[in-house]
Amino acid sequence: MDQDVTQGHYARLAATYDENWVYSPAFVEWMTGCIQRLLRIGPGDVVADVGCGTGLYARGLAEYASAVVCAEPSAAMLARVPRDGRLIPVAASAEDLASGRVPLPHEGYDAILLKEVLHHVSDRAAVIAGLAGLLRPGGRMLVAMLPTRISYPLFPAALELFASQQPDPAGIAELMRAAGMQAELTCDSFPLTFPAERYLQMVRNRYMSLLSHFDDDELAAGVALIRRAHPGEEISFPDTIAFILGTAA
Ligand SMILES: C[S@@+](CC[C@H](N)C(=O)[O-])C[C@H]1O[C@@H](n2cnc3c(N)ncnc32)[C@H](O)[C@@H]1O
């Protein structure tokens, strides 16, 4: 995605980002549980959450780790990471860390999380290889991302744009293997239900960066299509997430 569009999107979204998911604390709890089950963070572990956003998941992971470095290029998102001794904010992109342009505060990492970030990265091979170099032996890297096809209730143009832009999770696993890690791809789903108006307001707020490609009129027309397809009081859909776990030798 164009870097200016991405930066403008997250600068606008920062203030309301947590509301989208805090509406469903059960979702955040489920996702944190999935991440912890795969990353197996233990006391004494040093973790980096790359593209941490507001630290929505770093907060939960900090309960298991000795420190979670929260790296994020959007100043507006990073400013929302809670002030907590175990959450260490670092203003940096994945590319900054992978190339060593911005050094991280610890020598080696036991776990690195990239949740819904890699679609913003152009040279994913270089970023995955560079970040793999920050892992200690046996360290884990977890990429959590949407699959290429999603069943979100969006309008057709948005779904088509999504499918054309989203990287393939199987390709991410290949990049991890090329970077010298063992890699395993799994998927898991969580059933989401929103009051219809609440969900439509999230779409109007462009809660997904993808929606920043549509102007106000296109978005209003899209919301009308969604409403027609979902006339009830609630909108339900499964949120399926692909998890790619890499383990360093
Ligand atoms: C969909 S949000 C996910 C935030 C967080 N990981 C979560 O799951 O709540 C994507 C985040 O990636 C950040 N981002 C965009 N480009 C990035 C890059 N090149 N490197 C690292 N993070 C990036 C955005 O600023 C935004 O905070």
H or E segment at 228?
helix 216-229
In this predicted model, what pLDDT tens digit does every residue of 4-61 receive, in sequence order?
778 888 888 888 877 776 568 899 999 999 999 999 999 999 999 999 999 999 999 9
In this predicted model, what pLDDT tens digit does every residue of 162-209 receive, in sequence order?
999 999 999 999 999 999 999 999 999 999 999 999 999 999 999 998
- State both tokens at 75: 């100043």
Q: What is the mean pLDDT of the segment spanning 47-76?
A: 97
Question: Does residue 121's CB lie within 6 angstroms of at least one atom of ligand 1?
Answer: yes
Q: Which atom of ligand 1 is nearest to the CA of 31?
A: 8
Q: Which atom of ligand 1 is nearest to the CA of 208?
A: 1
> At residue 2, does pLDDT exceed 70?
no
109 C-alpha to ligand 1 centroid (Å)? 19
In this predicted model, what pLDDT tens digit does every residue of 90-103 receive, in sequence order?
999 999 999 999 99
Calculated CA dihedral for residues 179, 180, 184, 188, nearest 10 degrees: -40
100: left (phi over 0), alpha (psi -120 to 50) or beta: left
- Cα 1 to chain centroid, rounded: 15
Q: What is the pLDDT of residue 21?
A: 67
Confidence of residue 223 (pLDDT cuts 50, 70, 90): very high
Q: What is the DSSP letter of 82?
A: -
Question: Does residue 115's CB lie within 6 angstroms of at least one atom of ligand 1?
Answer: yes
- Site to probe by mutation for ligand 1, drawn from 117, 143, 145, 162 as the one with most ligand atoms within 8 Å of Cβ, is 117
Q: What is the pLDDT of residue 164?
A: 93
Question: Does residue 211's CB lie within 6 angstroms of at least one atom of ligand 1?
Answer: no
**Tokens 């944190």 sit at which residue?**
32
In this predicted model, what pLDDT tens digit does every residue of 139-167 receive, in sequence order?
999 999 999 999 899 999 999 999 999 99
- Cα 113 to chain centroid, rounded: 9
Q: What is the pLDDT of residue 23?
A: 60
**Strand order from edge to edge, sheet including 135-145:** 87-91, 67-72, 46-50, 109-115, 135-145, 234-248, 181-195
> At residue 130, does pLDDT exceed 80?
yes
Confidence of residue 239 (pLDDT cuts 50, 70, 90): very high
Question: Does residue 52's CB lie within 6 angstroms of at least one atom of ligand 1?
Answer: yes
Q: pTM (2 decimals)?
A: 0.94
Q: What is the pLDDT of residue 8?
A: 85
